[in-house]
Structure 1
């Protein structure tokens, strides 16, 4: 499962010269399961707060007394910063020593999370989390680009969602109950702990150099040999689909605890319910790992996105604990199932990693815009309009993604 290789980096002349004096280190198989898991941790480290977003929003409201709008703006600032960072990765991913950059970026992420423990002003928190997002988004963009260089990016993105949903479920299970006792310290220390684990894993990852044809001809990005002009429309549509899908889901997910409270549900019921939904959602990512593109992309995407819209609409009846629970479970499964395919489309259009990094940018823009739009739409804790907006966005996503998915299926 592991290979023993020298620590030299083919893209770094100085490292090549020193490799004979360095002791060998353990490097995992670049296309093996352990590499997929470690890449998943790397790519999640910059945005783990997304998977515990309801706990973050609720924690800011209860631990620091932020309003619905202020808590939503903190989340959006974090994610808009991440969008800018992911966009920056598009232009540098082929030209940097990505491992050195990742070490530095994770160190900065840890420092910013620790600083946030002592911040109580909403506007200072908004600015600080925006900076955190910028750094974390750059790390995520780098991770997406490296995943594109694996033999099966669809499956690797499946592992990514598997890790995110599994650990996100743990956060949603325990963090909301810890905030009343320990304040937001519990939230930010959990983020620090995750980044530290990811930092250790980075040591064992191989170098993943840029494929030779991308170093020789930067314009030859399509696996079929088509040029960028031919692939522009599928790329734009895929990026738009990712943005819409993420915005629709996150706009609703960020306020899931607040929505439940407005419907009379208790935190003792909602925390384990959302945790269970995250864990069961692992089945969606696992299904992608198992079936890959055996049945194409068009049909699986269309069915799963329509189901996401249906179960989002059922949240209108969240006063029923069963509806709240099972709707969140179904949404989570579909969410974890759809994203690997969407990112996989970007990866198939460019094995160098730039298009996947663009997919990361579109994802962060959607994740940031969702809570922002929801915060602007919210009035007196009436969440019906947020639910309706999510449903409309999801149905629009089906229309947008059809052409690029169908093109790759053919």
Structure 2
């Protein structure tokens, strides 16, 4: 058999266009599979408490270890993504997730669940890191991250809406079976994705040498943005109650805010880099900051509603751009995976810092700290965004000349 024949025989029967919409959607599913439990985390925590009798502390620690495990896995992905073929690795990681979610169905003891979900987080974090690295090899990386956030917020909203009522009837099996189903669908999609070789990837905007200072600023921006938002979001129900709002009002508000994230993700897909990166991020991050400050006036139902819905939109919008900026610093995808690590570390650290700040039960300090973190993110992200926008403009000018 000739080399050409061998190459043809190794290709899957159906491979989607590497730069097409279907490929971007499939990459979004692949990246979401590794961290989908975060999108339905309220349902999982509630299910552990109601169905297995876990204490609130134990259920919360299961969630925290799951996310910290993902941060570790994402960091590991940074070092292995250029040493192995990504597709067989992704297959192995998806099968690992399916196996660990299957085992989780039969676990009823808190310590075992914590250890198992921590391991699950590591495997999922590696998958997200690998997926981010592959996404970095596609043109218009911000658009692909927009599809990623669209999938996460859309399916996450469905999960939070329909899964909690199933847990009291079918136990935690309903929750973990939904994760298994998502991984299985992602596995089928993975088989239809092209190879996305490094040598075929578009050249990074900043050139072949990684510029560590702007990259460090981008990574810090990701961490601060995620920590500030998740630090408040983890306690947003109790925050609303502390201002006298009822659960019957808070729950629908949070559901609408989750669906509002679809708008933010859609805007990223529409705009991509047509308006550059600096202006969209500056406007959206400023709106996030103002909405966070507005939570001081949560005693007003309208203020609480508007603030949460606005953050839902801007959260999806901003993080897609911030992760995209990290991905533009190299074509191998290591920096995109590093962006995933910064994101997950922020998601896990925000609630931990919040727990320390809420020892007195006053949300004033927590809101102020979150606002300061967002303001710092806003200032820090200007450095890498302006650099990339200037480089884009110079490339366009040289091309037109």
TM-score (norm 1): 0.87
Match of 1:10 in 2: none
**1:105 aligned to 2:93?**
yes
CA contact (8 A) 1:280 1:329 kept: yes
Partner residue, 1:91: 79
Does the residue aligned with 1:211 lie in a helix, a strand or coil? helix
Counterpart residue number, 1:280: 260
For 2:280 and 2:127, locate their aligned partners in 1 and report how far apart those are by CA, in whole Å: 29
Structure 2 residue aligned with 1:250, among 226, 230, 243? 230
Partner residue in 2 for 1:72: 60
State how many pairs are aligned. Answer: 389
Q: RMSD across aligned C-alpha pairs, in angstroms? A: 2.6
Q: In structure 1, what is the equivalent of residue 213 of structure 2?
A: 233
**What residue in structure 1 maps to residue 107 of structure 2?**
119
Question: Using the alignment, how far apart are the partners of 1:15 and 1:261 within structure 2?
Answer: 67
Shift, 1:194, TM fit: 1.5
2:16 to 11, 28, 37: 28
Alpha carbons of structure 1 residues 83 and 351: separation in structure 2 relative to 1, 3 Å: same
Superposition deviation, residue 195 in structure 1: 1.4
2:152 to 151, 164, 167: 164
C-alpha distance in structure 1 between counterparts of 2:3 and 2:171, whole Å: 45
Q: How big is the shift at 1:157?
A: 0.5
Q: Give the one of 132, 136, 140 matched to 1:152.
A: 140
1:60 aligned partner: 48
Deviates more, 1:144-153 or 1:120-129: 120-129
Give ranges in structure 2 of 5+ residues lacking alignment: 391-401
SS of 2:84's partner is coil
1:322 maps to which residue?
A: 302
| 2:372 corresponds to | 392
2:283: which partner in 1?
303
CA distance in 1, matches of 2:106, 2:245: 31
Distance 1:124 1:15, change over 3 A: farther
Shift of 1:55: 3.0
Distance 1:71 1:124 in 2: 12
1:189 is aligned to 177
Q: Does 1:43 align with 2:31?
A: yes
State which drifts further: 313-322 or 342-351. 313-322
Cα distance, 1:263 vs structure 2: 5.1
Which residue of structure 2 lines up, in the alignment, with residue 5 of structure 1?
none
Range with greater deviation from structure 2 (375-384 or 332-341): 375-384
Q: Distance in 1 between matches of 2:298 and 2:113?
A: 31
**How far 1:127 moved relative to its partner?**
1.6
More deviation, 324-333/64-73: 64-73
Aligned counterparts of 1:329 and 1:386: Cα–Cα separation in 2: 19
Post-superposition offset of 1:308: 1.1
Instruction: Find 1:369's aligned residue among 323, 333, 349.
Output: 349
- The one of 161, 168, 181 equivalent to 1:173 is 161
Rounded to whole Å, the distance in 2 between the matches of 1:181 and 1:272 is 22
SS in 2 for 1:349: coil
Deviation for aligned residue 1:70: 3.2
Cα distance change of structure 1 residues 252 and 64 upon mapping to structure 2, 3 Å threshold:
farther
Task: Quote how far apart the aligned CAs of 1:371 are.
Answer: 2.1
**Corresponding residue for 2:126?**
138
Q: Is this contact kept in 2: 1:168–1:275, CA < 8 A? A: no
- Please, which runs of 5 or more residues in structure 1 have no aligned partner? 1-13, 215-220
Aligned residue for 2:273, secondary structure, equals coil
Judged with a 3 Å threshold, the aligned counterparts in structure 2 of structure 1 residues 224 and 310 are, in CA distance, closer, same or farther, namely closer
User: Residue 71 and residue 19 in structure 1: after superposition, are their counterparts in 2 closer, same or farther (change >3 A)?
Assistant: same
Per the TM alignment, residue 272 of structure 1 is displaced from its structure 2 partner at its CA by: 3.6
Structure 1, 247-256 or 359-368: larger mean CA deviation:
247-256
Normalised TM-score (structure 2): 0.88
Q: Which residue of 1 aligns with 2:389?
A: 409
CA–CA separation in structure 1 for the residues paired with 2:303 and 2:267:
24
